[in-house]
Amino acid sequence: MTEERRHGGQSLEECGRISLPTPIVHLGDPITASCIISPNCSHLDPESQILWKLGTEIQPGKRQRLVDGRQEFTITVAHLNSPRVLLSCCLRWGTSLQILDQAEVQAGYPPAAPHNLSCLMNLTTNSLICQWEPGPHNHLSTNFTLKSFKSRGNCQTQEDSILDCVPNDGQNHCSIPRRHLQLYQNMGIWVQAENALGTSKSPQLCLVPMDVVKLEPPTLWALAPSPEVAPPQPGCLLLRWEPWKPSLYIEQKCELRHQPQPGEASWALVGPLLSQTLQYELCGLLPSTAYALQLRCTRWPLPGHWSDWSPSLTLTTAQRAPIVRLDTWWRQRQLDPRTVDVQLFWKPVPLDKYSGQIQGYLVRAPDQAETVPPLCNTTELSCTFHLPLEAREVVLVAYNTAGTSHPTPVVFLESRGPPLARLHTVARDPYSLWVGWEPPSPRPRGYVIEWGLGPPSPSGSNKSWKMEHNGSISGMLLQENIRPFQLYEITVTPLHQDTVGPSQHIYAYSQEMAPSHAPELNLKHIGKTWAQLEWVPQAPELGKSPLTHYTVFWTNAQDQSFSTVLNASSHGLVLHGLEPASLYHVHLMATSKAGAANSTSLTLMTLALEESELHVLLGLFAFLLLFTCLCGAARFCCRPSRKNPLWPSVPDPAHSSLGSWVPTIMVEETFQLPSLRDPGMPPITKITVLEEEEKKLGPWESNDSSGSCGLPTLVQAYVLQGDPRAPSTQPQPPSITSDQVLYGKVLGSPTSPGPGHYLRCDSTQPLLGGISPSPKFYENLWFQTSPLGTPEPLVPNQEDDCVFGPLLDFPLLQGLQVHGVEGLGGV
C-alpha cells in the first residue's frame, strides 16, 4: 500500500506531490519515491525539468507519462544511511529551483529487548518499583510499557491482568501501586518496547511482592553507662539501635560495619545481629581510638533486600592505663644544710602501640600513702620540688582514667664515674648538630645529652634533653629545637651502673652569620709621611662567627690602592710611606668564616713640609743637579771624540818621536804674520821654531828622490781653516789620529846661511773644508818664505801631515801660504 504525503509551501497550485511507500525504513535499506505532476498545472509545459533534492544533494529523476495524462518522476536511493533525511521534488525555474513538494524519511532499527529487570517492594510508598535497562539506541522513538499479571502458580498461567504501567519519557522505571498488588501472591512482570519498525519484550520476572521488600535503615546510637549497664572494657563499645517503625513486626537480621578514623583502613563487617536484642557490645577494637559505625537490616528468615546503611555514628573506645617507660633526668641544688631543690625531667616512651593516652604525672616519695598529697601532680614533663638532704629516691607514674602506669623509681646518683674525653661538634645543616665523644673506660650504660641556647641566655632555660641507653655509641645527631645563627650549649653526661660521670660542655653554632659591620676607624696621630689608626674591636654577637682577621685598605688621590692584613686581635695600625700634604681614603674590613663586612670610609690628609725643610730639600736638589751636570760635562769633554771641537789638543813634543831629530832645547819665538783676517791666507793660531843642532836621519825620514818629506805622526801641527774663533760646524773626518797636522820647512836666506828651521802649525780644524768628511790626501802643496820667493812643493804623507823645513833663517820668514790641493780648490 502506498502512502502519499503532501506538504505546505506549494506555490504552483499544487502542481506536484510526493508519494512514498513508507516514511520509516530500516537504516541502510533502499527507498523509492515518486513525484506526480498534474496535467492541469498552467505553470508547467510538457518539457519542464523536474529534479530531486535529497538533503542538500540534487539528483535527476526518471520521467514516465501515465495514461491519465499525468507525469511521474521517480528516484531510488540504494542505501539510506542517515537516520533522518528531507526529500524534495523541485522544478527548475530559470536559474533557481522551485519546490513542488517535500517529505521526511526516517531510518532506524527495531527496538532491542529490555534487560536487567528488577523490582523492590517499598513499604514507605506502598508500591512495587521496577526498573530496567532499555538496550542500545535505535534512532527511532520507542515506547516502553511495564506489563504484569497475577498468578497462583509459578506464573505459567495468568489469572488477573494488572493495568499497564507507562513510565514518563526518558525514564526506565515504573511503580505499580499497592491497590493493584497482592503482597503474598505471585506476579508475572515484563517490559515491552515498541517503535515503528517492531516490538520486543524482556524476559518475564516471577515474584511475590513481599519477597522483594526493602526496609528503611535502622537508627544507631551508643548505649550510655548506667547502674544497670557496666562501662565498656578498654577496646569495646556498647551500641543500641531501633528498627524502622513500619517494620517493627517483621522479623529482621542486621549487619554492623566499623572503620577507624581517619578512614584510611577498610570497613570491617560484624554480623548477623538479631533484631530482638536491639543492643550489642562491640569488642576487639583499638583502645583510645575513634570509630565510624553503620548498621543495615533485612527481612529474615524470609527473603528480602538489605536496607541502605544507616548514617555514620562516631564513637571512641575506652582507653587503657598508660603502658610506657619513663626516662628521667634531674638537677639538684642545695638550699640549706638540710634541704635540696630538685628539678626532675622525664620523657614517656610508649611500650605498646595502643598504650593509653596519658593525662598527667604523679611524683611521690617511696612508700607514700595514697591519702598524702604527692610531691608533683602535673601534665608537664618536668617538676621542681624540695627534698631532705638525705633523700635519694622518688617514684614517678603516668596516669589516665583507666589507671596508672608501672612506677618508675628515680634514684639521685652521685657523680663519681669517669668523665668523657674529646667532646666535639659538627654542623650538618642549619637545623641539626652532630655531637661526638670518646667513651670512657669502663663503658657506661648510657648517656644524657642536653642542649639549649648558650650565653647570654639564662642557664638552664628551655633546654632540650635526650637519654641514650646504648653505652657503646660515640655520637648523636641533634635535630630537635636547633635553629641557625644561635649559639648552643651542649652537655653530655655518662650514666654508669650505680653512678654518673661528670658533665662535659661544648658550645657550637649550626650556622653562623657574617659580621653586620666592621669597627669604626679613628685617626689617632698623623705626620707628614705616616698616619696612626685605631679602632675598638666589637663584642661577640649572638649568632655571628668570630672574626678571623682584619684588612685595612687605603687609596691615594691617584686611585692607587694599597692593603695590609692584620690578625683578629689587632686594634690599630700605622701607615708608612705616605706622601706629604696628600689626601687618602681608608676603610677597614672585618672577616670571619661566614663572610666579611666593611667599615665607613675615613678620609685623612698628611701634614705639609715646613719652610726650612723645603729650603734644605731645594738646596740638596740643586746641589745634586749641579753635581750631575759637572760630571756629565767632564765625561763629555774628556772623551777623545769630544775634546777637539772645544779647544786645540797640543801634543807634548817631549814625548814625541820628534825627540830623535829635534834639539833638546826648544826656543819658541813669536813673529808677525799677515793678518789672520786676510781671506786669501789660512788662519794660523801658533807657529813654533825648533832649532836643529845636527841632522840625523830618523826612522821616519825617507830617501825618496822626489824630495818629499815625512815626519813622525806624533810631531803634529794643526792648521785652522777659517776663523779660529768661529765654532766648527763640520764633522771631523776620521783618521788614524783625531788631529790634522801641517809641517812646513823654512829655507835659509843668502844673508843668513845655516841649518834650516822647521815650522809647526797647530790647528783644531781640518786642513780642508770640503763637503765630504772623509780624509783627503794633498797632491800639490807649496810654501814660500817671502812674497818674492819661489814656492816649493810639499807633499804630505798619508796621515795628512806636511813638513816644512828645515828653515835657514826663521826671522826672514815673511809669511806662509798654503796653496790649495789640486782637485779641491785653493785655500
- pLDDT above 90 covers a percentage of the chain that reads 18
Amino acid at 91: L
pLDDT at 215: 86
* pLDDT, tens only, 32-75: 888 888 777 766 666 677 888 887 888 787 887 777 767 888 88
For the beta carbon of residue 94, count every other beta carbon within 10 angstroms: 6
What are 323's three cell numbers?
603502658
Average pLDDT, the chain: 75
The residue whose grid cell reads 809647526 is: 760
- Per-residue pLDDT reduced to its tens digit, 479-490: 988 888 888 899
Compare 80 and 714 and report the one with higher pLDDT.
Answer: 80
φ, ψ dihedrals at 130, nearest 5°: -120, 145
CA distance 398 to 366: 16
Closest CA to 599 of 637, 547, 553, 560: 553
pLDDT given at position 407 = 92
Can you give the pLDDT at residue 415?
Answer: 86
pLDDT greater than 60 at residue 556: yes
Q: What is the pLDDT of residue 720?
A: 36
Contact 52, 18 (CB under 8 A): no
Question: Once rounded to an integer, what is the mean pLDDT over residues 437-458?
Answer: 87
Judged by DSSP in three states, 210 sits in: helix
d(CA 756, CA 769): 31
> Highest-confidence range of 182-196, 721-735, 784-798, by mean pLDDT?
182-196
* pLDDT in the model for residue 12: 56
> Which region among 23-27, 148-152, 683-687 has the lowest average model confidence (pLDDT)?
683-687
Chain centroid offset of residue 200 CA: 73
pLDDT bin (cut points 50, 70, 90) of residue 813 is very low
C-alpha cell at 270: 560484624
What is the spatial distance between Cα 688 and Cα 761, in angstroms, rounded to a whole number?
A: 7
What is this structure's pTM?
Answer: 0.46
Residue ranges of alpha helices (H) inside 138-247 are none
Q: What is the helix (H) or strand (E) element at residue 651, kind and residue range?
A: none
Mean pLDDT of the region 763-784: 41
Give the separation between CA 364 and CA 377, rounded to whole angstroms.
9
DSSP collapsed to 3 states, 570-597: CCEEEECCCCCCCEEEEEEEEEECCEEE
Which of the two residues, 98 and 477, has the higher pLDDT score? Answer: 477
Q: What confidence score (pLDDT) does residue 647 get?
A: 53
Domains located in the chain, CATH noted: 16-108 (2.60.40.10), 115-214 (2.60.40.10), 219-317 (2.60.40.10), 324-411 (2.60.40.10), 421-509 (2.60.40.10), 521-606 (2.60.40.10)
Q: Which of 272-286, 595-609, 739-753 has the lowest mean pLDDT?
A: 739-753
Element (H, E) at 350: strand 339-350
8 Å CB contact between 286 and 303: no
Half-sphere exposure of 104 (CA within 13 A, CB side): 5
**Structure confidence at residue 550 (pLDDT):** 93
* pLDDT at residue 625 tops 60: yes
Burial of 609-636, coded b for 16+ CB within 10 Å and e otherwise, reads eeeeeeeeeeeeeeeeeeeeeeeeeeee
- Residue 477: predicted pLDDT: 92
Question: Has residue 723 got a pLDDT over 60?
Answer: no
Confidence at residue 649, expressed as pLDDT on a 0 to 100 scale: 57
Residue 287: CB atoms within 10 A of its CB come to: 21
**Residue range 27-36: mean pLDDT, rounded:** 86
d(CA 143, CA 110): 12
CA distances from 98 to 18, 50, 75, 199 (A): 14, 10, 18, 40
Sequence-distant (6+) residues with CB within 8 A of 651 are: 714, 715, 716, 739
Residue pair 737/792 in contact by the 8 Å Cβ criterion: no
Give the residue ranges of DSSP H helices in 65-178.
none
Sign of the four-CA dihedral 459, 465, 469, 475 = negative
Q: Label the pairing between strands 115-122 and 213-214.
A: parallel
pLDDT range class, residue 461, cuts 50, 70, 90: low
Q: Which residues contact 352 (CB under 8 A, 6 or more apart)?
A: 320, 323
**Cβ-contact 805, 799 below 8 angstroms:** no
CA separation for the pair 250, 675 (Å, rounded): 176
Count the neighbouring beta carbons within 10 Å of the beta carbon of residue 780: 13
Q: What is the pLDDT of residue 722?
A: 40
Q: Which pLDDT belongs to residue 715?
A: 38
Q: What is the band of 668 on the pLDDT scale with cuts at 50, 70, 90?
A: very low
- pLDDT confidence tier of residue 760, bands split at 50, 70 and 90: very low
pLDDT reading at 107 higher than 50: yes
Q: What is the DSSP letter of 670?
A: -
| Cβ pair 566, 537 in contact under 8 A | no
Q: Indicate whether 641 pLDDT > 80.
A: no
- Cα(150)–Cα(181) distance, rounded to whole angstroms? 8
Distance CA 501, CA 678 (A): 128
**pLDDT of amino acid 67:** 74
Cell of 234: 578498654
User: Does the structure show a pLDDT above 70 at 708?
Assistant: no
Residue 776 has pLDDT above 80, yes or no: no
Highest mean pLDDT among 3-12, 245-254, 409-418, 460-469: 409-418
pLDDT of res. 80: 83
- What pLDDT shows up at residue 42? 60
DSSP line for 783-814: E-SSTTSPPEEE---TTS---B---S-GGG--
Encode pLDDT of 328-375 as tens digits: 998 888 888 889 999 999 999 888 777 778 899 999 998 888 888 899
Four-residue CA torsion sign, 738, 739, 740, 745: negative
Per-residue model confidence (pLDDT) at position 827: 32
Across the range 410-439, mean pLDDT stands at: 89
Residue 46 is predicted with a pLDDT of 64
Mean pLDDT value across residues 256-269? 86
* Per-residue confidence (pLDDT) for residue 589, from 0 to 100: 93
Task: Tell me what percent of the chain is helix, strand and coil, each rounded to the nearest 5.
Answer: 5, 40, 55
Instruction: List the grid coordinates of 138.
Output: 535505535
For 169-223, what is each residue's pLDDT tens digit?
888 899 888 888 888 888 888 999 988 888 998 888 888 888 888 888 888 888 8
pLDDT above 60 (res 549): yes
Please tell me the distance from the alpha carbon of residue 409 to that of residue 397, in angstroms, as a whole number. 9
Residue with cell 648510657: 446
In the block, residue with C-alpha cell 533557481: 96
